[in-house]
Every structure is written in C-alpha cells, then in structure tokens.
Amino acid sequence: MSYYGGFCGFEFTPGQYSAMVAGFEQWHTGYIGNGQTTNTPTAMKITNMDGYDELSWTNGANQTGTLIEYSSDGGTSWNVMLGTLASENKIILSNVLASTNYKLRARHLNSKTYSTILDYTPAANHPEKPLVVNRDLDFLPGIGEFTVANTSINNTSNTNNTFSITTYPTTPEFFTGGTYNATLKIMTNTSGSGGNAFFLIYLDENGDGDFDDPGELKFQNPDNQLKFTVNTSFTVSTNATEGFTRLRVRSTYQSSTASPTFYYNFSETEDYVVKLVKEQPPALADTYNSTTSQVELTWTDPANTSKFDIERSTDGVTFTKIASTTDGTVKNYNDTTVPPNTQVEYRVKKEAGTTYSNVVSINTPNTSTNYCPPMSTLGCENNYGITKLSIPAIGFENDSSGNCGITSAGYSDYYSTKTMNLTPGSTYTINRENTGYGPQGYFAVFLDSNQDGTFNYTVANQSSASIQITIPADATNGETRIRFRSYFNPITDACADANFGETEDYKVIISGGKESPVINAMANNATDTSLDLSWDIPSGASPTGFQINSSTDGTTFAPLTSLGASIRSYKASGLTINTKYYFQIIATGSQNSDPKLVWGTTTGALEVEDIMAQSVKIYPNPSTKGKIHIKTTKALNSIKILDLRGALIKEIKNLKLNTQNEYIIENLSKGFNILLLNAEGQNIVKKVIIN
C-alpha cells in the first residue's frame, strides 16, 4: 500500500496512516523504502489562484516522493493530507475549510526530516478528496473523455489518474439556471477497446466544500444501462452561489450507491475548477440591408465560450430559433430568409443560458419578388420554342417568331412589356404554336395566384395545341406573374430543366378576386396613449376601404375603425401607457384581404434600459465623413467601437463635451460600426454607418 500514486491498492486515509505509523518506526522500509535521506522539501509556499490554492515546493536530492501533512489544532496533532510522486513538486489543496487555521509540513518518503511549518488559512472551502482504488491496467473503467458543450472543458486525455484536479487559464463559467450538454466516454486501451462503467457528475453549488447537498448530484447512470459513451445534460440551480467551485466526475465499475467521496473498486475521479456566474444578457442591434434584402444582426456579450441562439418572431408573440452561431466568438448573424413586407422581431441568447437580449423590431419593405429562373439546357433546338401564344377571350396574342430565348437560353421574360387581364373563377383557352410544326411536345401553365413569389397554380404536361386554365376564385387582385413552358420532356415544375424548350413569362392583372394585403405597414411614433399606423397598397390593387382591428395579446382582436379607400394612415389613440398593441390592417372588397399584422408599444413607465436608449441621439447616420455627433442627456463614461464581429476596434475614455453639449467621434472606419456607450452603469448599443 502507499499514499501516493502506484498500482498496489488503496491510498491510506489519514486515520489508517496514523494507526500504521504508531506500530513501527516512522522511517521504515515497509513505507518509506530503502535508502534513507535527510533532505527535505524547501521553499514551500501557497499561491492563491482563481478558485483554488496551490502548494508548491522544491524537492531535495535523491527523494522518492513527498508526503504532505496538516494540523488544525496548532501543531499538536498531525494528519496526512496526501502524497505525491518523486516527479511532482506542487499540488492543488483539498480537504480544507474556509477561515480555518492550518499548519502544513512535508517530508520526502525516504526521509524522517520535515520541512519548515507553513501557516495557511484558506479563504474558501476546498472539497474533500475522494477515496479511490488504482485500476488494473488490463481493466478499463477510467474516464477516457469528459466534455461540456459551451465551456472550455474538453478533457480527452484517455488516462486513468485515479484522482486529478484540472484547471484552465480562464476558468470555465457556468450560468446559474443554465443547462449544459455533457459527453462522457470510457477509457480505451491501445487496441481501442474499453470496458463499461457507471458515471456520476456532482457540482458543489453552494461552495461549502462538499457535494452532498440536495441537488448537487447532477447525473447518475441507471444501474441497468452500462454504456461505453454517455450523452447527458445537467442544469445549474438558479439559486446556486456565485463564485469559484468544483465540478466532480466519477467513473466506477461498481453498481453502488452514489457517493462523491466513497471508494469504488476500479474507478477514477476528476475534479474541475469552475466558476458559477449570473448570466448577463447580450445587447442586440439590427439593420436592414436594402441591397441584399436581409436583416443584419450584431450584438455584444462579455462571454466568448457559449454559442448563441438567434430567434425570430413574425407575430410579435411567438419566437422560433432560426440559427445558432458556430462558437461564442461569433456575435453577428445575417437573416437571409426574412420575409418581405413583414414586421419581425429578433432576440438572442446564449445556447447554454436562459437570459435573452433586448428585443429588436424591424419592418421589412415590400421588395420585388425574385421568381426562380426556368432552365432549358439545350434551349429551343428541335423546334420546341414558342412562336405564338394567344388567349382569344381577352384578345391577347404575342407572336415571338424568331425570338426564342430573348432573356437567356430558352427563356423570354415579357413581364415588363406584355400584360394580360384575367378574372378569378373564369376559364380561358390558351393556344400555342411551335417553330415550324404547330403544337410540338408538352405544354404547361404556371400562375402565382396569391402573389407570394411562387407559382401555386399549375396545368402541366398537355400535348395539344390548346389547353384551358381556370383562374382560382380566391386569386389576389393586383399584378402578378404567369409562366408558359413548351418543352420536350414531361415536367411539373415551373423552374426545372426542360431540356429542349422555351419558357415565356408575362404580367397578369387580376381583378374581381381577393383583395391584396397592404404593404409597408408600420406602427410607430409612440406616445403614452397613441400609436401612428401607416400603410400602402401594391400596384394594381383597388380596395374599397380598410378595416383596422386591435389587440393587446396578439391573439384576440376587436374592430377598431373602418376607413375609406384613399386613407393610408390612422392614429390609434386612447391607449394604455407602456403597453404593447397589435393591429390588423385589412383591405376590404368583395373578398377582404388577409390581415397585415403590425405592433408597437406605447411609452410611459419605461424600463431603465429604454430610458437610456431614448436619451441618446446620433447624427448624421449614415455619415459620409467618418464623423458623428452624439447628443445625450446622460454623461457618458466610455465609448467602445466594435466591428460587425463584435471585436473591439477602439475604446474612448475621459470624454469631453463640446460647446453644444455634444460628444464628437471622428475617424470612424467605412462600413458598419457598433458603438457601445456606457452611461450610469448601463450599456447602450448603437449602429453607425459610414459611407
């Protein structure tokens, strides 16, 4: 037996060691080996680190290991703390309690001479060292891997150290209330095979130096589910004490009662120094890029270890995750799928956390629809191009002889030059001719009847010279697109490769159907008791009027007012202060439009963050000279300038006001600049564009 690493069995407990020493001379070959020396450990000192205390010393010559002893009664009695191998000269202290006066001494295993005594009073509790049994090299119940997502814990050492304490240059942080995914793997040997083991995960949540308080056992394998790899998750209690503490992982071959310190046959224990912190919300800002038709989100956050979840809402009530960042250093996201002509809200949180950023809202404009381009690999070869298209009932005809594929190979887009007027519920006969041979191959018609940018009505794979289409009765009034395709191979898609053939697009004006939803709707200019609503109508629409409904929960709406066909704005008044209101704007007619939803919040009784944000005005924005003015009623402590990735470009302190009580910032880089303004302990995020 020994009290330091080896392969002969138990490490002695302090009581076992004391009883054994009493039975024979302290310098005894049964414990300290042959070759007595009088050398002692020297230069013993304790270094206070983040979350742990480190004892170090200088080894004497010809030593075979070191034994550390402690006394908690002023040196009257001594107990063994632990032992180390000859190659080691420092340890992380365990089994000590805060504000307790200890004396420490050490001697080499082959010496009876002790070092000088070191006084030590820990500032924090350090957990009890577990009792362990060294495993057989041919048996593999050790911990091969332990990783915790969204932290720096990624131990893949695949080595059984019996008991070890792992620290990191930057202590891994766990959010109180946060949930973390963990992976545990059994140790494997050189041939890649491994044994089964039970796993346990503990977290000292109150920092009292043990793991036996309610809720501190975070995971335990069920007795009937021995696995080579275990994926699990654990949650830090919301009332956990903030500060440095220990996370303990144990593996054992035994199916026994969970214990953070009891010895297990064939086992390993790993401790990790971690820090419990209260989660801070990210600070989010947004910009709509009219060139790319996407929303550009940027945020700041002091944490760099946790991935971020980006969530979006199109109803102002329910949020859905649309993306996650690749790691915690990425603090921007471009939403390329944001719908046009829609009010959307965004929020961001750390993947392992529960605290959301501020919510940002943006109204996307009614952008032109980009329809999918049709494909025709071989163009109009073999006489499959359209030479004439006609609809006798409305007197429409287009003779395109000699013009097959005027836009691109096999594609002729006549949307801006050729228009036809169609009525919902009506049936139309369409005649077509092909190059030199009359009707050749297959023919299809595709119509975007609801103006959503996709062709939702289809009559396909007709091989006759004339086909009939019936315009859906609920087709939306206004301008939309119709597509005709003549092709060699049968297809049912408006954009799929037609091999030989031609596609022709035309503008359609629908009238007598369902009214088109309003566009560019907004609810803004909030006061304590009112919100201004505004909207427009799409080209070709002619509603008879507008119906406005309102709600305070986004679910149950009540009529607010009815307006005439020429009205494009309305002031909703008599509202409650600091309340979010939802509005439906409906274009009325023989068939009312689908409601367009917008929302806004009245002012009054603002949160501190809202008051701070409204106290800052920046102009000009965009700026063309790299210079901006910041006007605020609050004194600024500092300004951080960040790029879109959240990386710090410059920090400005000792700010001074000019004669107009403004702060002036110059030499800003072209493009987007994120300003993080600190005033009265609050951070305000502003985005500035330099052209």
Q: What's residue 28's pLDDT? A: 40
502: its two tokens: 């031609």
What does each C-alpha distance from 43 to 50, 60, 67, 91, 109 come to in angstroms?
Answer: 22, 11, 15, 14, 18
Return the residue matching tokens 């742990």.
52
The residue extents of the domains of the chain are 14-120, 143-277, 283-363, 381-510, 519-601, 610-690
Q: For the domain 610-690, what is the CATH code? A: 2.60.40.1220
CATH architecture of the domain with residue range 143-277: Sandwich (2.60)
CATH architecture of the domain with residue range 283-363: Sandwich (2.60)
Phi-psi category of residue 676: left, alpha or beta, with phi > 0 → left and psi -120 to 50 → alpha? beta
Collapsed DSSP state (helix, strand, coil) of residue 69 = strand
Collapsed DSSP state (helix, strand, coil) of residue 237 = coil
Largest Cα span, the chain:
119
Instruction: Report which of 330, 307, 361, 288 is spatially closest to residue 150, judged by C-alpha positions.
Output: 307
Q: For the domain 14-120, what is the CATH code? A: 2.60.40.10
Q: What's residue 29's pLDDT? A: 38
81: its two tokens: 């703390």
* Within this chain, domains 381-510 and 610-690 share the same CATH topology: no
Q: What's residue 90's pLDDT? A: 92
The C-alpha atoms of residue 27 and residue 337 are separated, in whole angstroms, by: 77
Instruction: Report which of 664, 688, 667, 666 is spatially closest to residue 676, judged by C-alpha positions.
Output: 688
Residue count of the chain:
691
Instruction: Report which of 679, 647, 651, 684 is spatially closest to residue 665, judged by C-alpha positions.
Output: 651
User: DSSP readout, 286-314?
Assistant: EEEETTTTEEEEEEE-S--SS-EEEEEES
Q: What's residue 684's pLDDT? A: 79
Decide if 629 contacts 664 (C-beta within 8 A). Answer: yes
Return the residue matching tokens 């199109």.
314
Query: What one-letter code names the amino acid at 633?
Result: T
The C-alpha atoms of residue 321 and residue 341 are separated, in whole angstroms, by: 21
Q: What's residue 190's pLDDT? A: 60
Give the global pTM. 0.71
Fold of 381-510: Coagulation Factor XIII; Chain A, domain 1 (2.70.50)
Q: What's residue 488's pLDDT? A: 78
The C-alpha atoms of residue 348 and residue 324 are separated, in whole angstroms, by: 9
Give 493's contacts (C-beta < 8 A, 6+ positions apart).
none
Backbone phi, then psi, for 401, in 5-degree steps? -55, 130
Ordered alpha helix ranges (H), 25-77: 29-32
Q: For the stretch 543-581, what's the b/e string if a residue is b when 16 or more beta carbons lie within 10 angstroms of its beta carbon?
A: bebbbbbbbeebeebeebeebeeeeeebebeebeeebbb
The C-alpha atoms of residue 450 and residue 472 are separated, in whole angstroms, by: 9
Give 63's contacts (C-beta < 8 A, 6+ positions apart).
37, 39, 86, 108, 109, 110, 111
Instruction: Report which of 205, 187, 201 is spatially closest to residue 244, judged by C-alpha positions.
Output: 205
Q: What's residue 9's pLDDT? A: 39
Strands (DSSP E) along 50-176, which ranges? Answer: 52-58, 66-71, 79-84, 90-92, 102-108, 118-120, 143-148, 154-155, 163-166, 173-175
Kindly report each contact of residues 608-616 with a partner whose C-beta sits within 8 Å and lies 24 or more positions away, as own/partner. 608/682, 609/358, 609/682, 612/679, 612/680, 612/682, 612/684, 613/684, 615/679, 616/677, 616/679, 616/684, 616/686
333: its two tokens: 């996201």
Give 234's contacts (C-beta < 8 A, 6+ positions apart).
179, 180, 182, 201, 203, 218, 219
The C-alpha atoms of residue 369 and residue 351 are separated, in whole angstroms, by: 34
Q: What's residue 140's pLDDT? A: 57
Q: Which helix (H) or strand (E) holds 21?
A: helix 14-21
The C-alpha atoms of residue 316 and residue 339 are separated, in whole angstroms, by: 14
The C-alpha atoms of residue 413 and residue 138 are separated, in whole angstroms, by: 75
Fold of 519-601: Immunoglobulin-like (2.60.40)
Q: What's residue 554's pLDDT? A: 95
Residues of the chain falling short of pLDDT 70? 1-35, 132-141, 189-196, 222-227, 254-256, 265, 381-383, 435-440, 604-614, 644-646
Q: What's residue 20's pLDDT? A: 43
Q: What's residue 484's pLDDT? A: 92
The C-alpha atoms of residue 157 and residue 511 are separated, in whole angstroms, by: 72
410: its two tokens: 């096999």
What does each C-alpha distance from 520 to 367, 535, 538, 598 come to in angstroms?
Answer: 10, 5, 9, 10
User: DSSP readout, 421-486?
Assistant: EE-TT-EEEEEEEETTTBS-SEEEEEE-TT-SSS--EEEEEE-SSEEEEE--TTPBSEEEEEEEEE
